[in-house]
Structure 1
Amino acid sequence: MKPLHADICRYEVPFTAPVTVRGVLLATREGLLLRLKCDGATAYGEVAPLHGLHTESLDEAIQALTAFIPELSRFDLNNADDRRRLIGEAALPPSVATGIEMALVNLEAVATGSLPSFPDAFPPASNIPVNALLAGEPQAVLDRAAQRYAEGFRAFKLKVRKGQLDDAVACIRAFHEAFGDKAELRLDANQSLDFDEAVEFGKALPPDCITYIEEPMTDAALIPDFHAATGLPSALDESLWQRPALLDEIGPAPLGALVIKPNCIGGITKSLDLAAKARRMGLQAVFSSAFESSVSLGLYALLAAVSSPTPAASGLDTASFLASDLTEMPFAAPDGLADPAAAWRDSQRVKPEMIETIASWTL
């Protein structure tokens, strides 16, 4: 289904509390929606570079999106091959490529009244587990973990920060004492530690208390050495788009998972390709967001649901850090589980008062 009309809409949503991203303190989440229309069907895709994570700014994303939208008139069928060709030919920032592909995927599904479908995908799982995100002071971390566990969550991710490793070890020990093997704990160091710090930290942890640690070091090429020294598996996140060749160089032995952020990887198709590669390597494919709205989370939940017969717990708890959301029914994971089909349908029910149209095209 070829889009006939396009709008760029801007939004700004406050966080429930300031969020730190690679040392940058953010009070609000800003981004764009690409709204496409065709023969009564309306669909959305989200373009949301995150300050501190993406190299492109929001203004640069607007410029790239504005320059690309006229290319949509070249679309013939809006199928997977058409999308791969058109987006692949353009030199787009990753957040922009993802938002465009998301809008096109959603438009095809809305127009046909079906869920989005993807080549070589598994039948969608009826639900997917979601890991609860933990951050902040030790007591706040433990209080949130207890609350989320009571709600039904059984997978958790704790942010580990340089200069606060003693607090992190104390949190992990307390978590392990409270939940034992009843809950899965993942760590994320965001490439913040040097090799010696990472090894010292890893050796201070109780045995078998974590599933993996995301990006433990500033130099991800040292992950095999870190694994040899500590026995702890790592996960690649930022390295997947910063140094794509590194995955093959490291190999699966020291890894536990690939953490896939579509708006950093650069698209829906690229993310599913990476999930398929993770499966071939015997690794978990963990779909994750960069504090995007429920417009993105609904599709990401569906990607997780079709990427494996037994989807890994996804990093989609970020919606709980937004004070409000763009959709009538924000993404939720009651009992720690999300219904991907319902989440996708809800992702396209955007509240008009939450967005401001800043540019429009007839294609």
Structure 2
Amino acid sequence: MELPAFPTLAVARVEAMVFRVPIERPVITSFGTMHSRPAVIVRVEDAEGAVGWGEVWCNFPDVGAEHRARLLRSAAAPLLLERPWRGPQEAFDALTRRLQVLAIQSGEEGPVAQVIAGIDMALWDLGARRLGQPLWRLLGGSAEVAVYASGLNPVEPEALAARKRAEGYRAFKLKVGFGLDRDSANLKALRDLVGSETPLMVDANQAWDADTAIDMAVAFEPFGLGWLEEPLRADAPAEDWQRVAERSPVPLAAGENIRGEEAFARAIEGQVLRVVQPDLGKWGGFSGCLDVGRRARAAGKLFCPHWLGGGVGLVASLHLKAAVGGAGYVEVDANDNPLREALGRPLPPVREGLMSLADRPGLGVEPDLAGLAPYRIEA
């Protein structure tokens, strides 16, 4: 991948800010229920006062937000401040290499990767702002990005889908993994609402073993689904994934819980996944996920970035998809989350299933920190 010619990035200050907002309607998944929405926001400032924003994945369990902020400050920030960087990729590679032993020693490969990813996101924003270009344009993309309304809960999902359709969404994804009767009833209600031509997908959040996944996929066939996401545990044996893929009439999707270049290479080169879904706040940031997206597209896979956090990461995901191009969507959580709008401000509206990115430099976000002050957590 040819990278933009960034100016030298001399980071003078790194901040990690934690926010948590209680919600009235919980977000229900097959592995647990979210009663609040957290976010860890990264702010980097260079020696000339330019600022970049990033976000570290932390949505569940929400107690992990404070830990990731402390991990960033104690382990990653001192390395980032050591010297200037020729661009985000150089910093990403150096942080990944130098924190590998710590990740192994602490058993925290995931949180360490997430911290590096959030920093990487902020550095790409900073570099693009220094160049005066929106990131999507700097990376050769176009402004319009297709999106879908995600996270439809198993309790009356059609009501939320109707609201999101009125807001401009034209594709939807339902949470499944709650038993055949409930999942099928929810799918029928959604199909009755949106019709047979509207893209509809499902996410099992690693709920099943291989035999159950096959049975559920076969049962879901009449609903004309675009994909079945994470039917198995991400660490299930490769032969289980292969068996489900061979017998499922619904294309399989995964990626939010894949970590590392080699693991993504295997996923893209293999015949199991038809849809590749990296989360740039979980692993890779732009430095890792741009290559994943371009390789997935070259392999004929659908590239659909995963995101279920605050607004900085959502807008970053839109820029990532814009840069990679091709068919596919960016995930937009349909559930209420004030941290989405306030942190991604100004968030693009949805019109006929599309979001249009602005011409503002970098990610183009200006988080409303003052408005979110009541929800900021000392960590």
Q: Give the TM-score taking structure 2 as reference length.
A: 0.81
Number of the residue aligned with 1:305: 322
Q: Deviations over 1:64-101 (max 9, x none)?
A: 43332122233324414422333232326122011111
Give me the whole-angstrom Cα distance separating, in 2, the residues matched to 1:21 and 1:243: 28
Task: Tell me if structure 2 keeps the 8 A contact 1:215–1:236.
Answer: yes
- Match status 1:154 vs 2:170: yes
Number of the residue aligned with 1:279: 297
Number of the residue aligned with 2:107: none
Number of the residue aligned with 2:247: 229
* 1:180–1:51 Cα change, 3 Å: closer
Give me the whole-angstrom Cα distance separating, in 1, the residues matched to 2:220 and 2:50: 53
- Range with bigger deviation, 346-355 or 180-189: 346-355
Number of the residue aligned with 1:86: 94
Give me the whole-angstrom Cα distance separating, in 1, the residues matched to 2:357 and 2:268: 32
Task: Tell me if structure 2 keeps the 8 A contact 1:129–1:338.
Answer: yes
* 1:210–1:127 Cα change, 3 Å: same
Give me the whole-angstrom Cα distance separating, in 1, the residues matched to 2:260 and 2:186: 30
Q: Deviations over 1:303-362 (max 9, x none)?
A: 010112x341111235x5203533543454243211233696542343334255969xxx
- Range with bigger deviation, 257-266 or 40-49: 40-49
- Give the secondary structure class of the aligned counterpart of 1:103: helix
Which structure 2 residues correspond to residues 252-271 of structure 1 after superposition, within 5 A? 252-271=270-289
- CA shift, 1:272, in A, is 1.4
* 1:26–1:283 Cα change, 3 Å: same
Number of the residue aligned with 1:184: 199
What's the % identity of the aligned pairs? 23
> Please, what is the CA RMSD of the aligned residues?
3.1
Give me the whole-angstrom Cα distance separating, in 1, the residues matched to 2:198 and 2:237: 27
Please, which of 22, 28, 42 is the counterpart of residue 20 of structure 1? 28
Task: Tell me if structure 2 keeps the 8 A contact 1:75–1:82.
Answer: no
Number of the residue aligned with 1:40: 49
- Match status 1:164 vs 2:172: no
- Give the secondary structure class of the aligned counterpart of 2:352: helix
Task: Tell me if structure 1 keeps the 8 A contact 2:38–2:65.
Answer: no
- Give the secondary structure class of the aligned counterpart of 1:321: coil
**Residues paired across the two proteins, number:** 351
* 1:4–1:217 Cα change, 3 Å: closer
Q: Deviations over 1:96-119 (max 9, x none)?
A: 011111111111122232123799
- Range with bigger deviation, 16-25 or 185-194: 16-25
- Give the secondary structure class of the aligned counterpart of 1:144: helix
Give me the whole-angstrom Cα distance separating, in 2, the residues matched to 1:230 and 1:112: 47
Number of the residue aligned with 2:109: none
Task: Tell me if structure 2 keeps the 8 A contact 1:272–1:307.
Answer: yes
Give me the whole-angstrom Cα distance separating, in 1, the residues matched to 2:338 and 2:267: 41
Give me the whole-angstrom Cα distance separating, in 2, the residues matched to 1:20 and 1:187: 14
- Match status 1:98 vs 2:117: yes
Give me the whole-angstrom Cα distance separating, in 2, the residues matched to 1:321 and 1:223: 33
Q: Give the TM-score taking structure 1 as reference length.
A: 0.84
- CA shift, 1:225, in A, is 1.5
- Give the secondary structure class of the aligned counterpart of 1:86: helix
Number of the residue aligned with 2:59: 50
- Give the secondary structure class of the aligned counterpart of 1:87: helix
Residue ranges of structure 2 left out of the alignment (5+ in a row)? 1-8, 104-111
- Give the secondary structure class of the aligned counterpart of 1:30: strand
Give me the whole-angstrom Cα distance separating, in 2, the residues matched to 1:195 and 1:185: 22
Give me the whole-angstrom Cα distance separating, in 2, the residues matched to 1:23 and 1:230: 22
Task: Tell me if structure 1 keeps the 8 A contact 2:304–2:329.
Answer: yes
- Give the secondary structure class of the aligned counterpart of 2:309: coil
Give me the whole-angstrom Cα distance separating, in 2, the residues matched to 1:346 and 1:238: 24
- Match status 1:294 vs 2:294: no
